[in-house]
Amino acid sequence: MRYCQLVLGPAGSGKSTYCAAMQRHAEVSNRVISVVNLDPAAEAFSYQPLLDVRDLIQLDDVMQDEDMDFGPNGGLVFCMEYLLEPDGLDWLKEQLGDNEDDCLLFDCPGQIELYTHMDVMKRLVEQLQAWDFRVCATFVLDAGYMVDAARFLSGSLAALATMVQLEIPHINILTKMDLLNRAARRQLEMFLEPEIHELLASEHNVSRFNKKYHKLTHALGKVLDDFSLVRYIPLNINDEESLTDVLIQTDFALQYGEDLDVKGKDFEYPDPEDRE
């Protein structure tokens, strides 16, 4: 069995930074977590990738191809589709090797349409599962955008759309907690144990638009509440304890360690005949 987190989330939400921080944190705890760059448009990141999709295909090359005439977003979708063609998959399979118990983080592109309603990521998940990977989604959102009720709801719906589309264990992480001031952090804490619909009801500066759709936002908040669908783990990457918390949750989602324990024990029931 192998393990992998698809690190997903909107552009600039902190996916690559999360991957780098988690890889470094794992080293400190004597574990190896490797990072796969799955973003064909990536320019720079601060981890050393185990493999890099840009060795297969680069967004710049696709966009410069005059026959195809793609812009950045269409070009990115083309790159991801290319990865899922038989040739691309052969390349990926070979690059991934077949080391037992590997733990990988896939640093994914920030175009959330790839996983909220297109099937590219879903197909990748199925392929990874066929190669004996246990896969979870780690959905990363910038905490700075989550401190008012309307944006909290909108972020939650993006997380929810991804969760429903991918159908794998799912964890939501709020990044950049180190950038919040005390007041913002307190505000956010209220959202972390949310009675979302009550929070929405108590919003003071309701715009005319929001007023019109108040019932709708209220109902959506209630759905999120009633089904406990979307929960968040705050992450401060400067705090090792916070990184440990997240690693425990992602290990749990992947059931990492359970098989390792069983393998180590080699338990046999005693034979009653042996007893005196």
Ligand X SMILES: Nc1nc2c(ncn2[C@@H]2O[C@H](COP(=O)(O)OP(=O)(O)OP(=O)(O)O)[C@@H](O)[C@H]2O)c(=O)[nH]1
Judged by the rule CB under 5 A, the positions of this chain that interact with Mg ion are 15-16
The partner in contact with residue 17, picked from Mg ion, ligand X, none with C-beta cut-offs of 5 to 8 angstroms by kind, is ligand X
Stretch that binds ligand X, among 68-76, 119-127, 175-183, 209-217 (CB under 6 A): 175-183
The DSSP result for 217-228, as a single string, is HHHHHHHHHHTT
The partner in contact with residue 170, picked from Mg ion, ligand X, none with C-beta cut-offs of 5 to 8 angstroms by kind, is none
User: Per rule CB under 6 A, is residue 179 in the interface with ligand X?
Assistant: yes
User: Per rule CB under 6 A, is residue 15 in the interface with ligand X?
Assistant: yes
Place of tokens 């890099």: 52
Phi-psi domain of 137 (left: phi exceeds 0; alpha: psi -120 through 50; beta: other): beta
Quickly count: other Cβ atoms within 10 Å of residue 270's Cβ. 7
List the structure tokens of 146. 């989550």
Stretch that binds ligand X, among 8-16, 47-55, 114-122, 224-232 (CB under 6 A): 8-16
Nearer to Mg ion, 50 or 196 (CB): 50
Q: Which of 16, 34, 156, 242 binds ligand X (CB under 6 A)?
A: 16
Q: Which of residues 99-128 bind ligand X (CB under 6 A)?
A: 110
The DSSP result for 107-173, as a single string, is E--S-THHHHT-SHHHHHHHHHHHTTEEEEEEEEEEGGG-SSHHHHHHHHHHHHHHHHHH-S-EEEE
Stretch that binds ligand X, among 14-22, 113-121, 130-138, 200-208 (CB under 6 A): 14-22
Q: How far is Cα 62 from Cα 240, in angstroms, rounded to an integer?
A: 40
Q: Mask: binding to ligand X, 30-69, rule CB under 6 A, as x and -?
A: ---------x------------------------------
User: Per rule CB under 6 A, is residue 172 in the interface with ligand X?
Assistant: no
Q: Which residues contact 242 (CB under 8 A, 6 or more apart)?
A: 177, 234, 235, 236
Instruction: With H, G, I as helix, E, B as strand and everything else as coil, classify residue 275.
Output: coil
Q: Which residue is nearest to Mg ion (CB)?
A: 16
The partner in contact with residue 11, picked from Mg ion, ligand X, none with C-beta cut-offs of 5 to 8 angstroms by kind, is ligand X
Place of tokens 């896969």: 135
Q: Which positions touch ligand X (CB under 6 A)?
A: 9, 11-17, 39, 110, 175-176, 178-179, 237
